[in-house]
Amino acid sequence: MYLKGTKAGEGLTKEMIAVLPKIKAVVGDHPDDMSNPKFNPDIANYKIDTTPVFIITGSKDTIEPKLSGWNDF
């Protein structure tokens, strides 16, 4: 499971985990580079393969690292 055994995962309550199966889609608005440990504490278990994802970004975006949206998904 993503974040299990990480410091970030310690903050997840049982109630939060119970909500996860109810999520049917997500939107990434200027996403972080999820291959960077600074933004993703559990790279080995980061896998989006069953949840539809819509990425919003732009070719002249200066907020996110170059190609992070493309590389993430």
Q: What is the pLDDT of residues 15-61, one digit of tens each?
A: 998 998 899 999 988 788 888 898 888 989 888 888 898 888 877 77
Phi/psi of residue 55, each to 5°? -105, 130
> Cα torsion at 36, 20, 8, 30 (round to 10°)?
40
pLDDT at residue 4, rounded to an integer: 86
Residue ranges with strand state E in the chain: 26-29, 53-56
pLDDT at residue 27, rounded to an integer: 92
Token code pair at residue 51 = 């949840």
pLDDT higher than 80, residue 69: no
What are the boundaries of each domain within the chain?
A: 8-72
pLDDT at residue 2, rounded to an integer: 84
pLDDT at residue 8, rounded to an integer: 87
Contact 27, 36 (CB under 8 A): no
Residue length of the chain: 73
